[in-house]
Structure 1
Amino acid sequence: MPGNPFKASILSLIKAHPSGISEYNLIQRLLDCEEEFSFAEEGANLALFRQHFVVMNALYQLQTELFNEGMYLSISPLDIRLGPVTDPGLASLPDDNSATPLRDYYLDWENFFQTSYADVETMLTRFMERYLAIDERLDALQILELPADAPWEVIKQTYRRLAAQHHPDKGGDPVRFRAIRGAYEILIRCHAN
């Protein structure tokens, strides 16, 4: 599949949505018009991975091709859109070091062919673990009445202050104290990882 048979259809859909289109909507429209795009025989999660990979591969190829024609393809999961290059003096795509590994990954077809059902399941499990850990961390910070970007030193100081204030031996509420202690233990675990 190194030629990406869906690239022309993807470009057509992008051009049909000048105000932008999400990756989800792009995939749904491709499923409506391209029977081979379903990868249905692969199993649901592997099929979704393959659809995503093919779309990202086409987008990164198109980004380079269109840039050479004076157009910039902005790639974001929630907003894929085509517009003119704003700086006509640019000789190449803007170098975003954080996007380079991602771009390289999706332009390498070996990643498409070598990723198995088990690999996708592992990726999804890891993603969910990280997502839940972030959610758990935010809940713990809220219990300590701290913002999401609180540094570790502030977390420790706040915990000590609240624990002393709510400790049952000092007349504090035992339920509130246990909540504060539990929140701090979550934050210790998050900090260690």
Structure 2
Amino acid sequence: MLAKTGRFNRLRESNALFADFNAREPLSLFRGHFVLFHALYRLRDRARRERRGELAIEPLAIVLRPPAADASAQAIFATPEAERLSAWYGDWERWRTATAAEVIEWLRQFQALRRSGGQRALALAALGLQDPVDRAAIKQQYRRLAMRHHPDRGGDGLRLRDINAAWAVLQAGSDE
């Protein structure tokens, strides 16, 4: 889309970080991606600081949501995974030191995880489980953890959100 509109050419001309960008080369693609997400996470942090809203950064959507009314509402968006990604993209040394071989290996690992049902494995791990496990055991563990980590019972809201997200992944992948 950017290439068709000429915007990308203007970006390449105006920004040295994109001058040598080539989407067909893994290291170049990684560096372009890294710069974009580095900037997005910095913008998210700035929007939070200035109480302008919450920039939700997802693989297929980037959305500026209205400011949270209080800290507990803001915590809904500040998942541990989002914070890990923010820290990862915040480390500018990654951009400088990544090699083509590392990028190719990261892509290989990502594809292998995707093909192997990685979402299920990650969701089970979030619940402290691993395959083979039956549906009843998953449901029992989900309920136990949800009760333990619910903020109304003195639990951690961020952990509860991870538990609920894992449950949603497992529900979506269910044949029932």
Task: Tell me the TM-score normalised to structure 1 length.
Answer: 0.49
Q: Specify the structure having the higher radius of gyration (Cα).
A: 1
Q: SS of the counterpart of 2:108?
A: helix
In structure 1, the partner of 2:48 is: 67
Query: Aligned partners of 1:132 and 1:41: how far apart in 2?
Result: 27
Compared with structure 1, are the counterparts of its residues 43 and 151 closer, same or farther at alpha carbon in structure 2 (3 Å cutoff)? closer
Shift of the alpha carbon at 1:49?
Answer: 0.7
Query: Aligned partners of 2:92 and 2:73: how far apart in 1?
Result: 23
Contact 1:60 1:107 in 2 (8 A): yes
Compared with structure 1, are the counterparts of its residues 117 and 43 closer, same or farther at alpha carbon in structure 2 (3 Å cutoff)? farther
* Structure 2 gaps, min length 5: 121-129, 136-176
Query: Aligned partners of 1:117 and 1:52: how far apart in 2?
Result: 14
1:129 maps to a residue whose letter is A
Compared with structure 1, are the counterparts of its residues 113 and 69 closer, same or farther at alpha carbon in structure 2 (3 Å cutoff)? same
In structure 1, the partner of 2:26 is: 45
2:49 maps to a residue whose letter is N
In structure 2, the partner of 1:162 is: none
Q: SS of the counterpart of 1:82?
A: strand
Query: Aligned partners of 1:97 and 1:134: how far apart in 2?
Result: 21
> What does residue range 66-145 of structure 1 map to in structure 2 within 5 Å?
66-71=47-52, 72-87=54-69, 89-90=70-71, 94=75, 95-134=78-117
| Identical amino acids, percent of aligned pairs | 28
CA RMSD, aligned part only? 3.6
Shift of the alpha carbon at 1:53?
Answer: 0.6
* Structure 1 gaps, min length 5: 1-24, 138-149, 156-193
Q: SS of the counterpart of 1:70?
A: coil
Query: Aligned partners of 2:109 and 2:4: how far apart in 1?
Result: 26
Shift of the alpha carbon at 1:46?
Answer: 1.0
Q: How many equivalent pairs are there?
A: 117
- Establish whether residue 31 from structure 1 lines up as the match of residue 8 from structure 2: yes
Task: Tell me the TM-score normalised to structure 2 length.
Answer: 0.54
Q: SS of the counterpart of 2:71?
A: coil
